[in-house]
Chain A
Amino acid sequence: MHYTRNLRGSLLGAASLMVLALPAAAQEVTVWSGYPELGPFYEHVAEGMNAKYPDLKVNVEPIALREHEKRVALGITSGLEGATVIELPGSTASRYVENDLLPVPPQDVVDFVKDPANFGPFFVDAASNNGQVYGVPLFRGQGALFYNTEMFEAAGLTEPPKTMEEYTEYAEKLTQRDADGNPTVSGWSLRLSGGGQGIAEKFWINMFQYGGNVLEQTADGKWKADYANEAGLKALRQYIDLVQTKKTVTVEMPADAEAFERGQTAMFIRESWVIGDIAAKAPDLKYATAPLPVGSIALPGNLYVAGDADDADIRAAWDFVLATNEPDNLVWLLANVGWLPNRSGVDYSSVTDSVPQFAAFVDYPEGYKFFTLPSIGPIEEVLTRLAAALSEAYADPSLAGDDDKIMAVLQRAEDETNAILEREGLLGE
């Protein structure tokens, strides 16, 4: 008796499982993103595709950047199940393209990217390899100064700083201290610790204001490290001066967007997504943005499609990628997430007019310069190692006021960078 009942029960269970499993046979596309705040954007795009693809299921799976990089590396090399839209900076994608691991998009997608009305040559290049388009540009990381206007007012400052010397002066004036002179609110928040390459990227941005680049392309199309020089010295000296001598910021102080949102720092340099983050987490914060003295990083993020799936699913994935670049969706992206869309010819004014903080990212001065990370395989290794050397230097009080020692740190790191480039056959003359 009991047995039959159990048997019937489990048969029923199996049958209902099969019924549940059936709808999954419809089309499915997975989206891998390295920016959790972009999750809602991709969901929004997917909803907009309902009319054309009523049976399409889009799995949006954003995770933290470093874990994202890891799953992409493992997933692409060992084969992805199902059509997958992958978000990557062009500099990282080049590695996969060179090993034939990312397919060429359908012709209409290539045409869309190559149309000069859609994207400037900078973005097309970043999505291509040897002239062949592999991905579709979507957004870019571009830096600007964020500053707390109330703190500026309290310190008697009306204009944002315009030169790197002024950044130091401002940082001193803006730092708030307790009775013992220890800073409680940093004047200028700097990236001084943490893992990964972020420390080196931020250093590069500061050094760029002094006219330098961490890596320079040589005449033969290869690369060489170029920071053990005047620009590098000035940039690193400023960091050490602010941390060790002027103490406008300390290593352990809360830093970056969260500190800014909580009023724990007066200013810092960051990408446009902070605008969206502030709107969500600290809507009452009084702040403004300003372009950097010389120019900024511009790190384009593209979408690629990979995976073992039938043609219909792959097509649906590319249609999803195209849908992300529809004007309505791009305006939604800017308004709700804050990352800057790369497509030209779209009217973003409804957002930029109502959120004046976007102006520093969109209406930059004449002659404003941009740099990007070179599309070379070992770029992450180069920056991670530089980051390790820099974070050690920032915390070293013996470097304060000693240019020779600072230069020695830079020289040692530069030799290390060049050794990596040489190993990979990328070192230029």
Chain B
Amino acid sequence: MNRRRRTDLLIDLGLGIFGLLMLTPLIMLVANAFKTPEEMLSWPPTLIPRDPTLDNLTSVLNETPLLSWIGNSLAFALLSTLAIVATSGIAGYIVAKFPFRTINIVFALFLATAIVPFEVYMIPLYFQVKQLGLLNTVPGLLVGYLVMSFGIFLIRQNVLASIPDELIEAARIDGGGEMWIFWHIVLPLLRGPLAALAVLAFFQAWTAFAWPMIVATKRSAYTIEVGLALFQTGYTVDLGRLSAASACVLVPSVLAFVLLRRNFVQGVAATGMKE
């Protein structure tokens, strides 16, 4: 008993240290946001700013429309999440529980496109968006992020693991229509994995870079990620200001994740609690 507690403690210690190490680069980035230009250049580098300053932060907030970029990113990420959750929920259920040959082929196709890197077909996709006149708009951004192969896979796995065929058969025998079964029996059982998928989809869109970079060419249409890249000018990178801008985005998004994580983990755990 005692030995077990000691290994538990050791594991906790190891995981704790590892977790901190994973966060170190981000902590350093936030710390850099409060350093003076002189301190940024000092050797050895400091972890905690000796002489914290808000100059970086104020100059970033005054000189860039950071808030409207965050607004664009938020709209884009939320709509993308909605689209991905809807398409993955239906498609994941169908490919799991309707073992027809056609359906299996379609599922294989879904998975196969996941293999193709986005950059491979980004340019033809850009011309499609252009043809629709959607450049510099949120719907234009959305075109690249409407579906997610992994989402379909995740839902399929969860359906296979947690929804027995008997349950659906019983509902059918009771006279439930297919749509009714999906809506009233399957969906409630998938709440957990769908929430997990929602978080993944949200952050995928939130951190998208290459696609918004070409679809949004107007300053007012930038997402936050593209806006941040602006600080990386061709000539001099002002690391203090870049860090300050990054911190402005990092801190709320990390907080959002930490808050969402509760639902998220509960949701994921709920799928495994059936046994």
In whole angstroms, what is the CA distance A63 to B232 when docked? 9
Task: Note all chain A residues with C-beta closer than 8 A to B213.
Answer: 67, 70
Distance from B210 Cβ to chain A, minimum over Cβ atoms (Å): 10
Task: Note all chain A residues with C-beta closer than 8 A to B230.
Answer: 36, 63-64
In whole angstroms, what is the CA distance A35 to B235 when docked? 8
Task: Note all chain A residues with C-beta closer than 8 A to B41.
Answer: 262
Q: Is B62 an interface residue (CB 8 A)?
A: no
Q: Is B104 an interface residue (CB 8 A)?
A: no
Contact A78 B219 (CB under 8 A): no
In whole angstroms, what is the CA distance A257 to B135 when docked? 37
Contact B218 A74 (CB under 8 A): no
Task: Note all chain A residues with C-beta closer than 8 A to B135.
Answer: 78, 81
Contact A64 B233 (CB under 8 A): yes
Instruction: Return the chain A residue nearest B216 by Cβ.
Output: A71
Contact B236 A277 (CB under 8 A): yes
Contact B234 A64 (CB under 8 A): yes
Contact A59 B233 (CB under 8 A): no
Task: Note all chain B residues with C-beta closer than 8 A to A74.
Answer: 126, 214, 217
Partner of A34, one of B232, B234, B236: B234
Per-position contact with A for B217-258: 1 when CB-CB < 8 Å, else 0? 111100000000110111110000000000000000000000
Task: Note all chain B residues with C-beta closer than 8 A to A273.
Answer: 235
Instruction: Return the chain B residue nearest A273 by Cβ.
Output: B235
Q: Is B136 an interface residue (CB 8 A)?
A: yes
Of the candidates B130, B219, B230, B234, the one having the most CB atoms from chain A within 10 angstroms of its own CB is B234
Q: Is B183 an interface residue (CB 8 A)?
A: no
Q: Is A79 an interface residue (CB 8 A)?
A: yes
Task: Note all chain B residues with C-beta closer than 8 A to A81.
Answer: 135-136
Distance from B206 Cβ to chain A, minimum over Cβ atoms (Å): 20
Contact A59 B234 (CB under 8 A): no
Per-position contact with A for B249-274: 1 when CB-CB < 8 Å, else 0? 00000000000000000000000000
Contact A66 B126 (CB under 8 A): no
Distance from B218 Cβ to chain A, minimum over Cβ atoms (Å): 7
- CB contacts under 8 Å to A, within B161-217, are 213-214, 217
- CB contacts under 8 Å to B, within A248-268, are 257-258, 262
Q: Is B127 an interface residue (CB 8 A)?
A: yes
Contact A37 B218 (CB under 8 A): no
Task: Note all chain A residues with C-beta closer than 8 A to B232.
Answer: 64
Per-position contact with A for B120-136: 1 when CB-CB < 8 Å, else 0? 00000011001000011
Contact A79 B130 (CB under 8 A): yes
In whole angstroms, what is the CA distance A257 to B37 when docked? 15
Determine the main DSSP class of A at the interface with B: helix
Per-position contact with B for A11-31: 1 when CB-CB < 8 Å, else 0? 000000000000000000010
Per-position contact with B for A265-280: 1 when CB-CB < 8 Å, else 0? 0000000010001000
A-B Cβ contacts below 8 A, count: 52
Partner of A258, one of B126, B214, B236: B236
Distance from A28 Cβ to chain B, minimum over Cβ atoms (Å): 10
In whole angstroms, what is the CA distance A310 to B130 when docked? 20
Q: Is A75 an interface residue (CB 8 A)?
A: yes
Contact B234 A36 (CB under 8 A): yes
Q: Is A61 an interface residue (CB 8 A)?
A: yes
Q: Is A362 an interface residue (CB 8 A)?
A: no
Contact A75 B217 (CB under 8 A): yes
Q: Is A355 an interface residue (CB 8 A)?
A: no
Instruction: Return the chain A residue nearest B214 by Cβ.
Output: A74
| Interface size grouping (class) on chain A | 20 to 34
Contact B219 A61 (CB under 8 A): yes
Partner of B218, one of A30, A65, A67, A277: A30
Distance from A184 Cβ to chain B, minimum over Cβ atoms (Å): 11
In whole angstroms, what is the CA distance A177 to B75 when docked? 54
Partner of A257, one of B130, B136, B219, B236: B236
In whole angstroms, what is the CA distance A36 to B213 when docked? 17
In whole angstroms, what is the CA distance A172 to B127 when docked? 54
Per-position contact with B for A309-336: 1 when CB-CB < 8 Å, else 0? 0000000000000000000000000000
Distance from A44 Cβ to chain B, minimum over Cβ atoms (Å): 15
Do A66 and B217 contact each other (CB < 8 Å), given the known contacts A78-B127, A81-B135? no
Task: Note all chain B residues with C-beta closer than 8 A to A63.
Answer: 229-230, 233
Distance from A304 Cβ to chain B, minimum over Cβ atoms (Å): 16
In whole angstroms, what is the CA distance A70 to B226 when docked? 14
Of the candidates B41, B135, B217, the one having the most CB atoms from chain A within 10 angstroms of its own CB is B217
Partner of B130, one of A59, A71, A78: A78
Instruction: Return the chain A residue nearest B38 by Cβ.
Output: A262
- CB contacts under 8 Å to B, within A64-99, are 64-67, 70-71, 74-75, 78-79, 81
Contact A67 B229 (CB under 8 A): yes
Do A36 and B235 contact each other (CB < 8 Å), given the known contacts A79-B130, A81-B136? yes
Task: Note all chain B residues with C-beta closer than 8 A to A37.
Answer: 233, 235
In whole angstroms, what is the CA distance A281 to B237 when docked? 12
Per-position contact with A for B52-84: 1 when CB-CB < 8 Å, else 0? 000000000000000000000000000000000
Task: Note all chain B residues with C-beta closer than 8 A to A67.
Answer: 213, 229
Per-position contact with A for B39-53: 1 when CB-CB < 8 Å, else 0? 001000000000000
In whole angstroms, what is the CA distance A168 to B66 when docked? 47
Do A277 and B214 contact each other (CB < 8 Å), given the known contacts A67-B229, A79-B130? no
B-binding residues in A (CB < 8 A) = 30, 34-37, 59, 61, 63-67, 70-71, 74-75, 78-79, 81, 257-258, 262, 273, 277, 281
17 extra A-B contacts, CB within 8 A, seeds A64-B232, A75-B217, A78-B127: A30-B218, A34-B234, A36-B234, A36-B235, A59-B220, A63-B233, A64-B230, A64-B233, A65-B234, A70-B214, A71-B214, A71-B217, A74-B217, A78-B130, A81-B135, A262-B41, A281-B236
15 A-B pairs with C-beta separation under 8 A: A36-B230, A37-B233, A61-B217, A61-B219, A63-B230, A63-B233, A64-B234, A70-B214, A74-B217, A75-B217, A79-B130, A258-B236, A262-B41, A273-B235, A281-B37
